[in-house]
């Protein structure tokens, strides 16, 4: 699958909703055999319904990226049933909003565990088999993996870490025929944003950041009111499984491209600081 692709066997994580669900369905519609995973199968109803509507079959499995045994089990299942793994789409993740003075290091570690170490764990398990198939390793990160955003220190740190990890891995994996790509969505209309673990009413008494947080949340609400659809973003991800080898870094929309472009052209960091500071007014 490093060159023009033929239908293959694809592992997609985080498929209970949003981009992962839509990417799994779109990949199956394109003819790929899709093993669609999620942390708990209690969330599989929406995926099953979407698959039935699209007229595709999905092999739905439980995989918690923070549990090594569940990763091993799914990899073994794929090899036993299909004999190969042609692509991995790392999509599982969890949002988080907060600032370090108001939360403990245990919270930061938990965000890193899911969003960074979970990606590393699944990647490590799949790589030997992607080498054999000369396959594709696609990881959904975020524009937050390029531009640090207020009240998102832990989340953006995890996404920055994923981007650095994959950027470093890409030339190494390429020597073994594996193509590595990171996908950077901007605001996407999905339940992901509902799961950031934020209760504005739970701010500490006399919180010095309360006003700034209110400004940030107002800006976030405005951003998500014009968000890209999960179907559009998921279809974009699935399309990376086919055709010529994709570049290392891609964005799912013009808005995402413009957003990360500010950072990539910002040698001293001042443009990003001006932009994100304005969000807090």
Active-site residue numbers? 155
Secondary structure class of 228 (helix, strand, coil): strand
Distances (CA, A) of 38 to 24, 32, 128, 256, 272: 11, 18, 22, 26, 34
Secondary structure class of 277 (helix, strand, coil): helix
Instruction: Kindly give the pairing relationship between strand 9-12 and strand 33-38.
Output: parallel
| Cα–Cα dist 4/35, whole Å | 21
Instruction: Please list the residues that pair with 165 across neighbouring strands.
Output: none
| Cα–Cα dist 98/109, whole Å | 13
Provide the strand spans (E) within 141-248: 179-184, 188-189, 228-229
Distances (CA, A) of 41 to 28, 44, 246: 19, 5, 32
Give the list of residues 6+ apart from residue 187 with CB closer than 8 angstroms, or none. 193, 223, 224, 226, 227, 228, 255
């Amino acid at each position: 699958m490093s060159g023009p692709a033929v239908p293959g066997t694809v592992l997609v994580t985080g498929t209970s909703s949003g981009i992962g669900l839509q990417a799994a369905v779109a990949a199956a519609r394109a003819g790929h055999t899709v093993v669609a995973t999620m942390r708990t199968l209690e969330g599989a109803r929406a995926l099953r319904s979407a698959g039935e509507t699209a007229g595709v079959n999905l092999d739905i499995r439980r995989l918690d990226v923070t549990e090594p045994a569940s990763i091993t089990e799914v990899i073994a299942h794929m090899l036993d049933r299909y004999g190969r793994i042609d692509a991995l789409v790392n999509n599982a993740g969890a949002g988080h909003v907060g600032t370090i003075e108001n939360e403990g290091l245990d919270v930061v570690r938990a965000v890193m565990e899911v969003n960074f170490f979970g990606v590393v764990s699944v990647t490590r398990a799949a790589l030997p088999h992607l080498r054999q198939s000369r396959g594709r390793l696609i990881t959904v990160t975020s524009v937050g993996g390029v531009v640090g955003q207020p009240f998102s220190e832990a989340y953006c740190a995890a996404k920055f870490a994923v981007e650095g990890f994959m950027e470093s891995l890409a030339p190494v994996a390429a020597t073994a025929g594996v193509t590595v790509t990171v996908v950077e969505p901007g605001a996407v209309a999905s339940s992901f944003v509902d799961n950031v673990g934020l209760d504005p009413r739970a701010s500490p008494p006399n919180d010095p950041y309360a006003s700034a947080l209110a400004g940030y949340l107002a800006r976030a609400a405005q951003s998500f009111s014009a968000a890209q659809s999960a179907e559009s973003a998921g279809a974009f991800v699935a399309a990376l499984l086919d055709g010529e080898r994709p570049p290392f870094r891609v964005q799912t929309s013009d808005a995402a491209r413009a957003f990360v472009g500010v950072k990539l052209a910002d040698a001293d960091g001042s443009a990003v600081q001006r932009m994100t500071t304005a969000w807090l007014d």
